[in-house]
Structure 1
């Protein structure tokens, strides 16, 4: 755990933004942002710059990331103000008003009485507005508005994408990352299926013969009810070099597989590349811990983390080593 001497409290209902290895949080002191650099393990805080000639305007809370910049927004009826700031050492120099959107032609009169920004859909460029007449979205590029819910939302909206896969007799979602879903589909044509949630494209992947005995140890049971001592998990991640993950749909990807064989006392790992269409050479370590097949995975840089059945243990798979 790392810490700094800083009296500002994080706003629990505030929005979070991610740029590379840095995560940004809104503080309760409304014009202050906390920055957590995961790669360098550094915490810092900074003030949002003054708005120069518009000092009478309210502060602009953080709402997300757009075009590689931190995005801030507020409503001063009947206008929506958008500001952007570069995430770097010269923040004040790169603080600029992005646009001002007139709300009169976009919202019905009842919706203009009390408007607040409650969410932002990154990659789509849509602002969510909470109004007395319901929840609306405004697309920043087209300027089009749409009512998406009849009830007001409160302080925060978390956008998500709904989707469906073609009819399958048996499948289980293993992981989802950067618009890609990883499914275990043992009774289909392949052991794994990658599904692009944006473009609807699919990739079928066969398990490597070196570890296929682990995932197919007992297909008459549910996938997580394997023979005693055998377990595994997998994760999908973007393989595009230096990608900011703002628009990497359809780009190269990796599938990281980690399995454990308690009888042999081994934990094994291999990674599949969509660019080569092959699994890497399998690596292993002497390790008695059993992978938790239903556990969540996490990706930081080129390292993937998997939870073990023993609650206080984590497996780290460094894809570069």
Structure 2
């Protein structure tokens, strides 16, 4: 039996969200607060600070911004009572910050995979990254094309030309472990590392239920009809801003017709084989995604009989 399940990446946060404070006053009030903390990003890259003991932190005192050009900020809420801002630096700040001995820029996937920051800060980083990426990509109004401005302390953009208000979006994605008897269906895309297999997944389309999205995506990618579908767990996935909806589906048959434009391979695995994949001891070098990914937790539940 595999060891106890590790934490699900990006799903834990110590942040207390203060939705009622998301008028512009909250950001203005805390922007210059000496007690405020900041989650600092250069583009999509989080800036981590190394403590003397070698550990990393994702949130830093406001003093960390001294001399750094700020492109955008948003008020996220509080962490242990301290206000927290998400801060996007100017284009030249990364080179400036990288020269400091206590600073390290690490892509967010690696931060999660390597467990570089406490879990309660990893979920906070997911929010900060998704929100700042949205601001960076939505500087113009989708209704009239005029420039928009940050408002509601970072949780809205307003168009002064036509009055439209734009809100951050989250894209729902179904990711499903499809079972048939004592076996589960896993697939791999050509871009996956050699030997990696994962659960099938796809975006939920407009006007579609989660259950129907599971059935459609499984049939489109693998030619398998799915009957009963149940929800298991969810995960924020900040690339760019998705919500992974983990489900389990019961296949009505095991014949496969693989869409080679979507998948390089798909096959059925029994529990013992998946157990070896989780332990990275499969004789063919096959493995499943690391614990940062929701697919890891879905297949672990399958192995444990859940």
**TM-score by shorter chain over 0.5:** no
**Structure with max Cα Rg:** 1
Task: Name the structure where strand makes up a greater proportion of residues.
Answer: 1
